[in-house]
Chain A
Amino acid sequence: AQSVAQPEDQVNVAEGNPLTVKCTYSVSGNPYLFWYVQYPNRGLQFLLKYITGDNLVKGSYGFEAEFNKSQTSFHLKKPSALVSDSALYFCAVKQPGGYQKVTFGTGTKLQVIP
């Protein structure tokens, strides 16, 4: 069975500082990993994904994520946080092969303080 954990309910960071939102996963074989962002009362928006290859994945709005197989992690990062980055962030995992449902984490609320 696949699972994903986001250990922090909330992350606070000052505007202009780097941010990290943590995600760890458990899956059989090589995972497909995703990050989504959700603004209040809106649907989720896709940010980036890891399929294979380079461990550093770049995505929308200046976000990037680093895949670490040995630590089974896929942390979301941004060099300089903006107040507009404040939102709910979801990590998700899929197991390759056929149709497999995506498993979402419970979400991390990011608060960027001006």
Chain B
Amino acid sequence: SQTIHQWPATLVQPVGSPLSLECTVEGTSNPNLYWYRQAAGRGLQLLFYSVGIGQISSEVPQNLSASRPQDRQFILSSKKLLLSDSGFYLCAWSLGLASYNEQFFGPGTRLTVL
């Protein structure tokens, strides 16, 4: 069966510090991968998605970047964190390009920028 891991689970970082959040998927190949941010426990904002190694699409211009160095690894990064980067970050995966495939979410990372 497929599983998705995210770490760390929680993170407290000072403004201006770098960030690296990691997501890995097990039990599947060539997944589509997604990074979302959830603010205030509500709406989800799609940040990045990837349909293959090295292929990253950005949905919203921001202080963050993403990379996919391996098929089942997705990394969210920042060189300098802003207060507004605080939130709950969710990684997700889906199979193939078919629009009707559901997404499977990781447990999330709670980021607090002070």
Whether A94 lies near B104 (C-beta < 8 A) is no
Whether B90 lies near A43 (C-beta < 8 A) is yes
Whether A32 lies near B99 (C-beta < 8 A) is yes
- A98-B97 contact in complex given A42-B107, A43-B90, A107-B43, C-beta closer than 8 Å: yes
> Would you call B7 an interface residue if the criterion is a C-beta within 8 Å of the partner chain's C-beta atoms?
no
> Would you call A51 an interface residue if the criterion is a C-beta within 8 Å of the partner chain's C-beta atoms?
yes
> Would you call A96 an interface residue if the criterion is a C-beta within 8 Å of the partner chain's C-beta atoms?
yes
- A101-B42 contact in complex given A41-B108, A43-B105, A46-B104, C-beta closer than 8 Å: no
Across-interface contacts of A61 in B (CB, < 8 A):
none
Whether A51 lies near B100 (C-beta < 8 A) is yes
Q: How many residues of B contact A (CB 8 A)?
A: 24
User: What's the A-B contact tally at a CB cutoff of 8 Å?
Assistant: 58
- A43-B99 contact in complex given A104-B43, A106-B42, A106-B43, C-beta closer than 8 Å: no
By size class, the interface of chain A is 20 to 34
Min CB–CB distance A56 → chain B (angstroms): 17
Instruction: Name, among B88, B102, B106, the residue most crowded by chain A CB atoms within 10 Å (CB to CB).
Output: B102
Whether B44 lies near A49 (C-beta < 8 A) is no
Across-interface contacts of B110 in A (CB, < 8 A):
41
Min CB–CB distance A49 → chain B (angstroms): 6
- A46-B99 contact in complex given A41-B110, A101-B59, C-beta closer than 8 Å: no
Whether A99 lies near B106 (C-beta < 8 A) is no
CA distance A14 to B6 in the complex (A): 35
Across-interface contacts of B59 in A (CB, < 8 A):
101
> Would you call B56 an interface residue if the criterion is a C-beta within 8 Å of the partner chain's C-beta atoms?
no
Question: For window 26-44 of chain B, which residues contact chain A by CB distance below 8 Å?
Answer: 32, 41-44
- A90-B99 contact in complex given A41-B108, A44-B105, C-beta closer than 8 Å: no
CA distance A52 to B70 in the complex (A): 35
> Would you call B46 an interface residue if the criterion is a C-beta within 8 Å of the partner chain's C-beta atoms?
yes
Whether A101 lies near B49 (C-beta < 8 A) is yes
A-B contact pairs, 14 of them (CB 8 A): A42-B107, A43-B107, A46-B103, A49-B102, A51-B100, A90-B44, A94-B100, A98-B97, A99-B32, A99-B97, A99-B99, A102-B103, A104-B44, A106-B43
